[in-house]
Amino acid sequence: MRLLDGDQFILSCAVTGAIHVPTMSQHLPIRPEEIADAAVEAADAGASIVHLHVRDPVTGEPVNDLNLFREVIAQIHARSDVIIQPTTGGAPTSAVVDRIKVVPEFEPEMASCNMGSINFGLYPIARKYDAFLHDWERDYLESTRDLVFRNSFEELESVLQTFDEHDTVPELECYDVGHLYNVRHMMDRDLIHAPVHLQFVMGILGGIGADAENLSHMVRVSEKLFGDQYSFSVIGAGRSEYKRAVQSLDLGGHVRVGLEDNLYIGPGEQATSNAQLVEKAVSLAHSLTGRSPADPRVTRKFLGLKGKEELRI
Ligand code: KMH
Ligand code: ZN
């Protein structure tokens, strides 16, 4: 495993995502200016990477609109040195041909890259609400009973070539152990270049469960497949976020937090902002492991990123 100097860690913040619907939290950033503000505040709180999705400004529905991405990215780029990481995952209901457009459009330093298909079950959320603010919300959630978040090998070939063409470093989202072998396979075909930065996505219904022994296993398999050619970060969905975050830090890994993945700052208490989630991660990291978050300059060097001036905005 590759380690950051000074035992620092990379703290990422995913500010809005495509999992949670507006009814679930009034604090979920929806409009471009809200998403940009949340990203800059998260950076000011210690995040060196912000992971971005966009939403319809009126209804809050997850979309892949490049103009909305441009509005958000331009505002963050002007106000912060943070590493801007747009999603190529988009809404799990959308096709990869639409999701990948952010890479040629903006040539970001980094973007998420989903390393395999999974069922992506959000439908149990729908049953918890008698009513929703917007008509689309229940249908969106219920539709995931019959959803495969599609990332076939053929699609991955095309996505990875696009990343290469635009000198965008992929953050490799791995939802299960098999996705680690997909990474190895694509490295053997020279479609992914070492060193790799993995994001273990834990606790999504359809992917690996967010249990401690599963994170240990993902690291054990990564050691076997990648040796000293990998680093990893962890997303713990929902209530697992901070348990898996601290375990990741203890194992030499990195952390992602944010309202995309978790709406709660503690049991039964909703987070009021992404920055609040970031601050809790910084505080836990320091008090429990002595590790502190790296700044964007250190993170860029570690991940081999091209610099914010290369962003096409
Ligand atoms: N939504 C998370 C479960 C992506 O956007 O490309 C994983 C994610 C992937 O953030
Ligand atoms: Zn995402």
Measured in Å, residue 77 CA sits from the centre of ligand 2 at: 19
C-alpha dihedral (122, 124, 127, 128), degrees to nearest 10? -90
Residue 83 contacts residue 296 (beta carbons within 8 Å)? yes
**Does pLDDT of 280 surpass 90?**
yes
Say what the pLDDT of residue 93 is.
86
Give the pLDDT band (50/70/90) at residue 219: very high
Distance between CA atoms of residues 233 and 300, nearest Å = 15
The partner residues of 187 in beta bridges, in order of sequence, read none
Q: In this structure, how many other beta carbons lie within 10 angstroms of the beta carbon of residue 29? A: 28
Query: What residue owns the CA closest to ligand 1's atom 6?
Result: 89
The encoded tokens of residue 276 equal 């609040």
What's the rounded mean pLDDT across residues 227-253? 98
Question: How many domains does the chain fold into?
Answer: 1
The partner residues of 300 in beta bridges, in order of sequence, read none
Say what the pLDDT of residue 206 is.
98
Measured in Å, residue 112 CA sits from the centre of ligand 2 at: 7
What is the phi-psi region of residue 114: left when phi exceeds 0, alpha when psi lies from -120 to 50, beta otherwise? beta
Say if ligand 1 is within 6 A of residue 151 CB. Answer: no
Give the pLDDT band (50/70/90) at residue 92: confident
Residue 277 contacts residue 25 (beta carbons within 8 Å)? no
Say what the pLDDT of residue 20 is.
98
The partner residues of 49 in beta bridges, in order of sequence, read 12, 83
pLDDT tens string 145-185: 999 999 999 999 999 999 999 999 999 999 999 999 999 99
Kindly report the average pLDDT of the chain as a whole number.
Answer: 97
What's the rounded mean pLDDT across residues 2-28? 97
Say what the pLDDT of residue 102 is.
98
Say if ligand 1 is within 6 A of residue 88 CB. Answer: yes
Distance between CA atoms of residues 40 and 59, nearest Å = 23
CATH number for position 264? 3.20.20.70
Residue 278's domain comprises: 5-310
Query: What residue owns the CA closest to ligand 1's atom 1?
Result: 17
- Closest ligand 1 atom, CA of 89? 6
pLDDT tens string 26-84: 999 999 999 999 999 999 999 999 999 999 999 999 999 999 999 999 999 999 999 99
Measured in Å, residue 65 CA sits from the centre of ligand 2 at: 15
Burial of residue 201 (number of CB atoms within 10 Å: 0-12, 13-18, 19+): buried
Burial of residue 136 (number of CB atoms within 10 Å: 0-12, 13-18, 19+): middle
DSSP H helices, 59-147, are 66-79, 96-99, 102-106, 123-126, 135-142
Say what the pLDDT of residue 53 is.
98
Say what the pLDDT of residue 273 is.
98
Measured in Å, residue 35 CA sits from the centre of ligand 2 at: 13
Say if ligand 1 is within 6 A of residue 89 CB. Answer: yes
Q: In this structure, how many other beta carbons lie within 10 angstroms of the beta carbon of residue 214? A: 18
Say what the pLDDT of residue 274 is.
98
Cα 79–82–88 angle (5° rounding)? Answer: 110
What's the rounded mean pLDDT across residues 122-136? 97
Measured in Å, residue 52 CA sits from the centre of ligand 2 at: 7
pTM over 0.95: yes
Residue whose C-alpha is closest to residue 36's, from 13, 18, 19, 58: 13
Give the pLDDT band (50/70/90) at residue 264: very high
- Closest ligand 1 atom, CA of 19? 1
The encoded tokens of residue 58 equal 């009126």
Say if ligand 1 is within 6 A of residue 173 CB. Answer: yes
Question: To test ligand 1's pocket by mutation, which of 199, 260, 263, 274 has the most ligand atoms within 8 angstroms of CB?
Answer: 260
